[in-house]
């Protein structure tokens, strides 16, 4: 095959991937956006998260055919992005709260602070439902910033156990968020 034929074949393959991406975007964007909007209560944050999700899909477009269940892949990625967003919002809320407590006089809570506090409460509810050891491992990792080995040493358990418990904790938090979302979105 000559260079011109190879170039044409690459162009055709890239074009078919673009069409597949556009089809997946049209098929899933609205439902994913609705889910994220219910969880974040912000159209702007929802748009940003969905943009990140589809940007990630675009970056992996050459492997789309190797993904066995693209819909599940998109939902999992969306869940992870929402959890990251909620965790970041909760951390920012705690930082703002600390700063504001040191400010003289009373300040009115802005809508952003109310939303950030609600995100923090959602995550906290999910964390509170974890079994005691799993909750402790999650808190040591996410709130105290300890790595797997430090947690293992602190609790006198194996690093592998820490990794498994943290993975299970994150999965439980995702399920909690999805159950909350299903209340609003019966089609998921």
Taking the C-alpha atoms of residue 30 and residue 47, their distance in angstroms, rounded to an integer, is 10
* Average confidence (pLDDT) over 93-122: 62
pTM tops 0.95: no
Higher pLDDT, 183 or 37: 37
Distance of CA 102 to the CA centre of its chain: 32
Q: What is the pLDDT of residue 106?
A: 44
Q: What is the pLDDT of residues 135-179, one digit of tens each?
A: 899 888 887 888 899 999 988 999 999 999 988 988 888 788 777
Q: Write the DSSP assignment of 58-117 as a string of letters.
A: HHTGGGGGG-S-HHHHHHHHHHHHHHHHHHHHHHHHHHHHHHHHTSSS--PPPHHHHHHH
Whether the Cβ atoms of residue 122 and residue 180 lie closer than 8 Å to each other: yes
183/134: higher pLDDT: 134
What is the average per-residue pLDDT within 115-128? 75
């Amino acid at each position: 095959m000559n260079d011109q034929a190879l170039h044409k074949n690459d162009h055709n393959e890239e074009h078919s991937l673009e069409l597949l991406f556009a089809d997946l975007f049209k098929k899933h964007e609205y439902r994913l956006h609705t889910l994220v909007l219910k969880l974040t209560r912000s159209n702007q944050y929802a748009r940003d998260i969905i943009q990140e999700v589809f940007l990630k899909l675009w970056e992996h477009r050459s492997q789309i055919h190797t993904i066995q269940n693209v819909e599940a892949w998109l939902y999992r990625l969306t869940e992870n992005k929402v959890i990251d967003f909620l965790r970041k919002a909760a951390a920012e809320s705690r930082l703002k709260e600390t700063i504001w407590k040191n400010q003289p006089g009373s300040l009115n809570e802005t809508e952003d602070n109310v939303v950030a506090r609600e995100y923090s409460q959602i995550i906290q509810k999910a964390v509170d439902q974890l079994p005691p050891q799993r909750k402790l491992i999650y808190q040591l990792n996410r709130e105290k910033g300890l790595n797997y080995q430090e947690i293992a040493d602190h609790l006198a358990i194996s690093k592998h156990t820490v990794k498994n418990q943290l993975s299970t904790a994150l999965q439980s938090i995702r399920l909690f968020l999805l159950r909350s979302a299903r209340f609003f979105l019966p089609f998921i």
